[in-house]
């Protein structure tokens, strides 16, 4: 993590000792849990649709993918716009930020 040259070692030390740093170190586990929950809910939704169709897969598989994409697309676009416009104004510091 600290492989690059540092000019503000005291700030890094304060940051490492903060309580939020533990969450940052375990971020890869949080992503795994997010993917597991997403797969679980998608499988549950597919099984509910199969129970309605008497154990058969729905005829329109494209409709399943499109409905999932339409649910995720607004959140994805909002996140991209947020980091593109808002984070430039309020987040970040350092010599190469702007």
Place of tokens 């510091």: 93
To the nearest 5 percent, what fractions of the chain are helix, strand and coil? 70, 0, 30
Per-residue pLDDT 10s for the chain (98 aa) are 556 676 777 777 887 888 888 778 788 888 899 999 989 998 998 898 888 888 888 778 788 888 888 988 999 999 999 888 887 777 666 666 66
- The domain limits of the chain are 10-59, 61-91
pTM: 0.51
Interatomic CA distance for residues 28 and 6, integer angstroms: 25
Interatomic CA distance for residues 20 and 74, integer angstroms: 29
């Amino acid at each position: 993590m600290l492989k690059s040259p540092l000019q503000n070692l005291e700030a890094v030390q304060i940051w490492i000792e903060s309580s939020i740093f533990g969450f940052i170190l375990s971020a890869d586990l949080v992503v795994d849990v997010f993917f597991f929950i997403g797969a679980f809910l998608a499988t549950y939704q597919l099984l509910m649709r199969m129970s309605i169709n008497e154990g058969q897969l729905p005829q329109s598989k494209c409709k399943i993918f499109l409905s999932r994409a339409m649910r995720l697309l607004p959140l994805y676009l909002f996140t991209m716009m947020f980091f593109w416009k808002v984070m430039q104004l309020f987040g970040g510091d350092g010599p190469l930020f702007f």
